[in-house]
Amino acid sequence: MITIDSSLTDLKGVGPKRAEALGRLGLFSVRDLLYFSPREHYDLREAKKIGELCHGEYAIVKIEEIEKPKVSYPVMRGRRTPLVTAVVSDGTGKLRLSWFNQPYIRNSIPEFAHGFVHGRVDLSNGRRMINAAFCPAPPGMLPVYPLTRGMGQASIRATVKSVMRELNGCYGESLPDGLRLEHGLCQLGFALENLHFPISPEALAIARRRLSFENVLHFTILLEALRAKAVSTGGISFETDGALDGFLSLLPFAPTRGQLDVMADIARDMASPAPMNRLIQGDVGSGKTILAFFAMFIAVRNGFQAALMAPTALLAEQHYAQLSGYFGERAALLTSGMKKAEQREVLGRVKSGEIDYLVGTHSLIESGVDFSNLGVVITDEQHRFGVRQRALLGSKGLSPDVMIMSATPIPRTLSLILYGDLDISRLTEKPFGRKPVITRYVPPEKRLSMYRYIQKQIEELKVQAFTVCPMIEDNEEAGLMTSAESVFDELKKLLSVRIALVHGRMKADKRDEIMRAFRNGEYDMLVSTTVIEVGVDVPNACIMAVEAADRFGLAQLHQLRGRVGRSDKESYCFLLSESRSDTAMERIKTLVSSNDGFYIAEKDLETRGPGELLGARQHGSSGLIDSFVLTDMETLNEARLAAVKLLKSELPEDKKLVSETVKRYSAKLQNIAIN
């Protein structure tokens, strides 16, 4: 018999291949699957008239007439591509259905007019519906999930439905009735069923509210448990008098007022006997790295070692180049890509205490890395590291101070929820001499002109450019034909500049090699996915073009834009989008009008809710929902306050809930990271 804690391999129809695909999404148990939130729902409860269809929407239409399908082979992006088309009518107009690169679909198109058809509407060249699907009746509100190779929407929907049939309403209940009723929360079974297949938008909102509330409740309890543990642990009390003046004398520039304020926070924390546990939130290009160096300087000045962990070898190399410029041979680099002999030499010098400043990637947390006297640990780009990695690095010393840096601006209220165990400093100023990036919207008809303009800038000004795409390869199901691979092929034929391609499916060393070559000026343009979001500092890269910008979140677009504008040169970011929807244009307008990451994060929160900022499922069961589910900040704040109240309560049932939460989730909290 299947229970909520059963493995997905216990389900009928989940064989090795499907289990492997589900595993790539971090789904291993029935609980994982039920708490896997759809990214959106298509409202297909009622058919629309063909004459009323809007560009870009996903809609369903009743079939009154259908013509025999045709197959053609147009040349698309330099290659002949099978295109299946069929024309349907509902009495108000005709609609052409199109399937790219799917010749087999011809056999599944009904011969006679009956039922319904649904898909993405495209009105840019007549009335079209892309990659349509047929059904006998409107399917209601259809969930749309994040996907992976080997797992389509139909497969994951079928698996969720199978799980729900097997459980037959037996989901259990994780919140006490008193707490649930006090805050007007629905039962867990109703929430999970309507998270996936809601009976109405109202039911979906009720489900999301319940699950969001529960997540934040548990999360806050766990973070408070972490904070209590940190406070009770004795740390190092560093001598900080005169440290700031000594550090400033090393710098070839004057820090901003904001940097000096955060340095004061760091000095105060490090002088305290309790371990520092500080998050530095700084907008893209705000100068966070120098703050890390200041904390490292204090530790070394007191006779301790300092470690800085970066998410990529390229970023680690950049930090090392700066550190060695200040501290010479007392600084060292450690990455997995180094030769074994070089690694052994560095490890020996770290263990003996010869090296004071160590910079590296995940190599720093491996078992063979032993420090002589580690005093401070810094992780750069916090959203790339989970609590577990920080803890592993921190365990290399006796309660070292911990500092975390993040370039992902997060609104204040959300910071309290996400980082309740940390003290937070915010860095909002840009270093002197940095110019704001000029951002422009480029409509589809101006796309080729834009690329020719970029080529002209590269040739005349000797600058470099990024082109960012939302996916590695074209995805017909998503109606997306601006992948990194296809754009790279197109631009190589269109432009006479040196172009390279990088994406997440490449081996890390190959990817780093190409990015390093780009940084060294061996390429003029880099076509990539979001792998360049972190760790690429190329001052000569002054232009960025983002294909299908509507496919990215506001915060992510701002993060990407931060890869240019890293010098005193004029820099540009061009946002391309075929979608003319109000939502897409409003988001583009926000980016065009502002370079302030914290303002953009607040706007993102207003328009899209907190879900996007908190997304990112971790592989393996966390027992918490994969994101905090798009919901209102009022609910999240209510849950946080309820958790604080529970933690102070002396009532036996409240104490029981707190202890059960810590017992159940604390081991898994270490795997949670913010995206």
Strand partners, 60: 118
Q: Which of 58, 39, 202 is nearest to 675 (CA)?
A: 39
| Contact by Cβ (8 Å): 538, 519 | yes
Whether the predicted pLDDT of 611 surpasses 50: no
* Mean pLDDT, the chain, whole residue set: 85
Angle between helix axes 201-232 and 652-669 (nearest 10 degrees) is 80
User: Does an H or E element contain 161, and which?
Assistant: helix 153-167
Q: What is the pLDDT of residues 326-347, one digit of tens each?
A: 998 999 999 888 899 999 999 9
Q: What is the pLDDT of residue 77?
A: 65
Residue ranges and CATH numbers for the domains of the chain are 46-137 (2.40.50.140), 237-272+289-406 (3.40.50.300), 438-594 (3.40.50.300)
Q: What is the pLDDT of residue 268?
A: 95
Looking at residue 313, its amino acid is: A
| Contact by Cβ (8 Å): 523, 498 | yes
Please tell me what DSSP assigns to residue 102.
-
Whether the predicted pLDDT of 431 surpasses 90: no
Q: What is the pLDDT of residues 513-539, one digit of tens each?
A: 898 899 999 999 999 998 876 656 788
Q: How many angstroms separate the CA atoms of 420 and 637, rounded?
A: 12
Q: How many angstroms separate the CA atoms of 465 and 458, rounded?
A: 8
Q: What is the DSSP string of 182-198?
A: HTTPPPHHHHHHHHHS-
| Contact by Cβ (8 Å): 465, 565 | no
pLDDT range class, residue 373, cuts 50, 70, 90: very high
| Parallel, antiparallel or unpaired: strands 277-282 and 401-406 | parallel
Range of 125-129, 181-185, 477-481, 503-507 with top mean pLDDT: 181-185
Q: How many angstroms separate the CA atoms of 325 and 333, rounded?
A: 13
pLDDT range class, residue 253, cuts 50, 70, 90: confident
Whether the predicted pLDDT of 394 surpasses 70: no
Q: How many angstroms separate the CA atoms of 29 and 339, rounded?
A: 40
Average the pLDDT over each of 100-109, 158-167, 473-482 and give the range with the smallest value.
473-482
Q: Which of 431, 663, 473 is nearest to 568 (CA)?
A: 431
Q: What is the pLDDT of residue 607?
A: 62
Residue 218 neighbours by CB distance under 10 Å: 25
Whether the predicted pLDDT of 612 surpasses 50: no
SS3 390: helix
Average the pLDDT over each of 208-217, 387-396, 404-413, 532-541 and give the range with the smallest value.
387-396
pLDDT range class, residue 416, cuts 50, 70, 90: low
pLDDT range class, residue 160, cuts 50, 70, 90: very high
Residue 621 vs residue 463, higher pLDDT: 463
The answer to whether the pTM exceeds 0.75 is no
| Contact by Cβ (8 Å): 530, 544 | no
